[in-house]
Amino acid sequence: MAVITELHRSDIDHILEQYRLGSVDNFRETTHGIENSNYFLSVQQDSSGTDRTEFVLTVLERETDNRSLVLAALERCSERGLPVPKLVSTSDGSTIVNHNGRDVLIYDRLPGNHVVYPTTQHCAAIGRFLARMHLILKPLALDIAYERKLDWIKRTASECHQALPKEDSRMLRRAINRVESMLDRNEIQRIPQGIIHGDLFRDNVLFNEHGLCGVLDFHHAGYGFWLFDLAIAINDWCTDNGSLDREKTFAMLREYNSIRNFKNTEYWCFPNFLLYAAVCFWLSRLEVSVRDDLPEGFPRKDPEEFTEISRTHLSHPFQIHELVTSI
């Protein structure tokens, strides 16, 4: 299933009228994204029929508290030259329109393709992007917390633990206890925080022959630990069969550090932030997998991938001392 809300040509034409973009020439559902509905649009913008522009239309499928933050973050990143989608505004300056009770966004379609098998160069580019993004968004005075904090972890684990084998349930409790113990330390609360992307997986990034050319899906953005944002990316971009690839991990960390220097505390707590990030996505996938009230075909991702990543981080914490001595 590619979309949750199905749009017809008449729906899209009605939406485009509000943006004064022209008429849709053709459109298709995208195959990426599991929380919102996305469509690629080819829009005819002149009467000759020769000038077509590519856009993405997103139907926001859930109500969130961070909508204003997402829009502000995209606008600021775009103004500062980061490769993020540029939102299209209506004639009255709004970037959101409502269609049949759902908020809708339209933005320029960025070039490039998703990376299936990341190289060290890809990982290095992600490190540079995240460091630049964190610093660029630092001035935003929008203290809207990232949604998957410790309270969310505990609540979701309580709701889902019966669906787990006993061994995995015990492992989850150990992992949560370790994360909670870390977050309770006063020095952890003093490490750098700001606006984070919160979901920088490979399917939210585009590369072409020139390098990184698009970062998508800021819909989980919120205020949180910058190191947590980096850990989310590393768990996806630098992991092979549940274990981190040291070369790729060091490439991302080194390039991030070249723009925003790590604090000493961030070095020693980094292995537990990797566990923290892994547990969050283990539970977010598990939460969907156990629900029986979702429509047929609702997209689900296998939680087992992050079960194994969490297991690795818990039993064999990533050793970062080599990075400390090499920077």
Per-residue pLDDT tens digits for 184-217: 999 999 999 999 999 999 999 999 999 999 999 9
Given a cut of 90, whether residue 239 has pLDDT beyond it is yes
Report pTM: 0.92
Identical fold for domains 9-108 and 120-326, yes or no, is: no
Considering the chain, what percentage of its residues have pLDDT values greater than 70? 91
What's residue 298's pLDDT? Answer: 62
Per-residue pLDDT tens digits for 62-72: 888 888 899 99
Give phi and psi for 261, each to the nearest 5. -65, 135
CA torsion angle 305 233 145 302 (round to 10): -20
Given a cut of 70, whether residue 323 has pLDDT beyond it is no
Task: Spell out the residues 6+ positions from residue 265 whose beta carbon is closer than 8 angstroms to its own.
Answer: 187, 188, 190, 191
Rg from Cα positions in the chain: 20
- The runs of H, that is alpha helices, within the chain are 9-19, 67-79, 120-137, 150-160, 166-183, 226-237, 246-257, 264-289, 304-315, 321-326
Burial code (b: 16+ CB inside 10 Å, e: under 16) for 226-257 equals: bbbbbbbbbbbbbbeebebbeebbbbbbbbbb
Q: How far apart are CA 228 and CA 251, in angstroms?
A: 17
CA distances from 43 to 27, 237, 312 (A): 9, 34, 47
Given a cut of 80, whether residue 27 has pLDDT beyond it is yes
Per-residue pLDDT tens digits for 246-294: 999 999 999 999 999 999 999 999 999 999 999 999 999 998 877 666 5
Given a cut of 70, whether residue 232 has pLDDT beyond it is yes
What's residue 1's pLDDT? Answer: 42
Per-residue pLDDT tens digits for 75-84: 999 999 999 9
Q: What is the CATH number of domain 9-108?
A: 3.30.200.20
Closest CA to 251 of 327, 137, 308, 317: 327
Per-residue pLDDT tens digits for 130-178: 999 999 999 987 778 898 999 999 999 999 988 899 999 999 999 999 9
Higher confidence at residue 49 or residue 96?
A: 96
Burial code (b: 16+ CB inside 10 Å, e: under 16) for 137-150 equals: beebeeebebbbbb
Given a cut of 50, whether residue 322 has pLDDT beyond it is yes
Given a cut of 80, whether residue 227 has pLDDT beyond it is yes
Mean pLDDT score of the chain: 90
CB 204 within 8 A of CB 151: no
The domain made up of 120-326 has a fold known as Aminoglycoside 3'-phosphotransferase; Chain: A, domain 2 (3.90.1200)
- Cα of 231 vs its chain's centroid, Å: 12
Task: Spell out the residues 6+ positions from residue 45 whose beta carbon is closer than 8 angstroms to its own.
Answer: 21, 22, 51, 52, 53
- Residue ranges covered by each domain of the chain: 9-108, 120-326
What's residue 36's pLDDT? Answer: 86
Tokens of 206: 């585009």
